[in-house]
Structure 1
């Protein structure tokens, strides 16, 4: 059984996906629930990932709308 990724590894992976163009500028990231399923981690772990990416300036949050890649 694979070892789950840490929240910092997930943040790095998402940042790499953004840099590669998988999530281009202006695009909306999958929901917390979708990301928790994708990475096989708890919702709270994804919340930490998104908070870290926001602190790094990689994503921006829009309450009630979602998390986006800045233009």
Structure 2
């Protein structure tokens, strides 16, 4: 298996946390700054993480309000 970029690893971890119920439908995910601090990454990496979660259909962004787990997220 080829190595993964850091943003892929974090997105996979966040997706697993969503699917396990740690972040239930409708819950707000950590802010970009919180994600950067938690995983010790740059804001660019955090943005890529949230983009990947959105592309997987797990989250939706509300401008000025944050990133939330979709009510009908796949795998839930």
Which ranges in structure 2 are unaligned for 5 or more consecutive residues?
A: 72-76
Matched residue, 1:62: 62
SS at match of 1:67: strand
Which ranges in structure 1 are unaligned for 5 or more consecutive residues?
A: none
- Map 1:25-64 → 2, pairs under 5 A: 25-64=25-64
Q: Deviations over 1:21-67 (max 9, x none)?
A: 11000000010000010001011100011011111111110111100
Structure 1 length normalisation: TM-score?
0.90
Matched residue, 2:6: 6
Structure 2 length normalisation: TM-score?
0.85
How large is the Cα RMSD of the aligned pairs?
1.0
Q: How many residues align?
A: 67
